[in-house]
């Protein structure tokens, strides 16, 4: 049998989650909260389930939700979007990323990704017939090496995928990065796919530099966001894509046959909550920054070293002072022997550098973080 993804196995998230379950380990590997979805939002879901919003939604998403997103984008970024033609509700950010790649990448095209890169990018590019060009981010801040980027551009470059706040490192892109990106691709037929699912989880007073705010880049970009990350409901798998009309037309051609539409009552509930509780996403940076600070403080006396994450709900820990084992080996060892699960960062690289980093999720109740720190401080 011919495999379209011969080099792709089970994702590291599945592997580590199963290992955590098997050994009853504290699971800080996959990025999901262990606290509740806002009660008011759950009440709105129940309301729409019971009044009959249980049939197919329109393919682009219910108008009410797209309108509320239009209002939110204007409030957050000062940008006017067309709710009818420029916003599409998707089955999570993963489907949005996949549909965007299938819509615009073809046989022989090259797609630039920055390592460590989230693991769903390359399989989608491969299935579209394209090839990923992997460029490593510069240590220790995981910044983009723009000179190396310019050297990697070719007549085959079709798409650039950027991710900020960045999973797995927590790094964030600066406005100067967007200006440089625009300068380097301005005269080329290159699109940008911007993974911004952690847009509201950014710390230390930084502003999220969305591609929506850059006039030139916005015209050639598809921006992907996530309700699951923002509203503590990753299992709902609802995201959205924002793009200019011409790009969105092509995006929807793929979306309509990939997913068609997203769960109707959840869309209505999210529309209500966006309208009635904008303070939720406005307060999210402070909410998660407090958790980051608490987790880092708890680890101050451990043998691990760290630089506090600038965004996302992930914290990297350097274990070079603890073990000389490869991170994939050490992550499994910690899960089995110490009872705590994490994600080895090397799996996000095409060619892993010599570093010893594990990614831990701090989107947890403080009691969970305390248990995790107790385990890690005993190592």
**pLDDT for 163-176, tens place per residue?**
999 999 999 999 99
Residue 358's H or E segment, with its range, is strand 357-361
DSSP symbols for 98-141: HHHHHHH--TT-EEEEEES--TTHHHHHHHTT-EEEEEEPBTTT
pTM: 0.97
- Distance (Å) of CA 135 to CA 132, 160, 338: 9, 11, 34
Residue 215's H or E segment, with its range, is helix 215-218
- The CATH class given to the 12-37+280-377 domain equals alpha beta
Q: Where are the domains of the chain?
A: 12-37+280-377, 57-276
Is-same-fold flag (12-37+280-377; 57-276)? no
- The CATH class given to the 57-276 domain equals alpha beta
Task: Specify whether the CB–CB gap between 221 and 193 falls below 8 A.
Answer: yes
Band of residue 139 on the pLDDT scale cut at 50, 70, 90? confident
Band of residue 355 on the pLDDT scale cut at 50, 70, 90? very high
- Distance (Å) of CA 169 to CA 4, 97, 263, 313, 330: 29, 19, 32, 10, 18
The stretch 303-328 carries a mean pLDDT of 97
pLDDT tens track for 182-227: 999 999 999 999 999 999 999 999 999 999 999 999 999 999 999 9
Nearest Cα residue to 161 out of 184, 134, 186, 179: 134
């Amino acid at each position: 049998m011919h495999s379209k993804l011969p080099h792709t196995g089970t994702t590291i998230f599945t592997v580590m989650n199963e290992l955590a379950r098997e050994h009853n380990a504290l699971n800080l590997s996959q990025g999901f909260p262990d606290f509740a979805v806002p009660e008011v939002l759950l009440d709105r879901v129940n309301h729409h389930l019971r009044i009959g919003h249980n049939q197919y939604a329109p393919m682009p998403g219910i108008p009410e939700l797209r309108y509320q997103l239009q209002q939110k984008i204007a409030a957050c970024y000062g940008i006017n979007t067309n709710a009818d033609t420029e916003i599409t509700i998707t089955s999570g950010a993963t489907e949005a990323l996949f549909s965007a790649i299938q819509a615009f990448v073809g046989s022989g095209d090259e797609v630039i990704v920055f390592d460590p890169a989230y693991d769903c990018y390359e399989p989608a590019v491969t299935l579209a017939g394209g090839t990923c060009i992997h460029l490593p981010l510069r240590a220790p801040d995981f910044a983009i090496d723009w000179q190396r980027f310019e050297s990697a551009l070719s007549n085959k470059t079709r798409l650039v995928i950027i991710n900020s706040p960045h999973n797995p490192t927590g790094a964030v892109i600066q406005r100067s990065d967007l200006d440089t990106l625009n300068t380097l691709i301005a005269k080329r037929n290159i699109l940008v796919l911007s993974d911004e699912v952690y847009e509201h989880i950014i710390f230390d007073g930084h502003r999220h530099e969305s591609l929506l705010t850059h006039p030139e880049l916005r015209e050639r970009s598809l921006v992907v966001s996530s309700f699951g990350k923002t509203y503590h409901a990753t299992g709902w798998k609802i995201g959205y894509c924002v793009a200019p009309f011409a790009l969105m037309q092509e995006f929807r051609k793929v979306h309509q046959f990939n997913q068609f539409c997203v769960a109707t009552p959840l869309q209505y509930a999210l529309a209500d909550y966006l309208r009635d509780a904008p303070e939720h996403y406005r307060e999210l940076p402070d909410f998660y920054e407090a958790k980051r600070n608490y987790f880092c403080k708890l680890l101050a006396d451990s043998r691990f070293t760290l630089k506090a994450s600038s965004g996302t709900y992930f914290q990297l820990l350097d274990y070079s002072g603890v073990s000389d084992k490869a991170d994939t080996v050490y992550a499994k060892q910690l899960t089995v022997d110490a009872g705590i699960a994490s994600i080895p960062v090397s799996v996000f690289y095409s060619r892993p550098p010599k570093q010893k980093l594990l990614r831990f999720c701090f989107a947890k109740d403080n009691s969970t973080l305390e248990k995790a720190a107790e385990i890690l401080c005993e190592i």
